[in-house]
Structure 1
């Protein structure tokens, strides 16, 4: 991962992408939940400020991380939801990557969130612990 983005990615995964702050079934706006409490999702500008301005094509970027036994995705809007992976074997690969059991996984179609094959790049903290991963859509050119 690019060192100039390291502190920003650390901030995204440790301060902004918090499932308890923005459960999967809420939108980016502050809303009352069925139980009466409110939730706030990270604002898009806070996410954008966390990463270097030279990151190209923000529209094809998402962030994923493990939350207990599920993989969550946070889009650039700040909305957090479950990251549905098409096939169980691909879901297992993504989970292994996020658990640090494999260092990389193939460029492939993993979900329908981004309409292109996805590259999933793990993000580690200074001690080498995986915080999550950046998902980028990459269009195949002929």
Structure 2
């Protein structure tokens, strides 16, 4: 297996979702999202998907570390919904997708959380509930932290 191929589905670790230390899956979703798989470790784009026992992927979290590829999301980062504020960047948020662009040592990095399906516990709130924690933990993992994102008011 190369670094870019997705791994097989594995049991979700509530305190290290997708193998990212410090990224906790909120307790409300632990029965709904029971397994994860990761692809792209060490590459330009890292993707993690989470799903339930009898479902396809309900959640996708993507880190675009290549500055050239990060530029593809420029328009959506600016105009994709309500504004996200952060210590090193900016982003947008809507019901199904949140994007945040941070200025890191290596150039711009985009962090994205997408909710593909409703989940039993929280409806369509995964993007809101996970985005700040995802950006903070993932930014630390790739050496871009510390980073703090403030989502818009509920």
TM-score normalised by structure 1 residue count: 0.31
**Per residue, is there more strand in 1 or in 2?**
2
Larger RCO: 1 or 2 (CA < 8 Å, sep 6+): 1
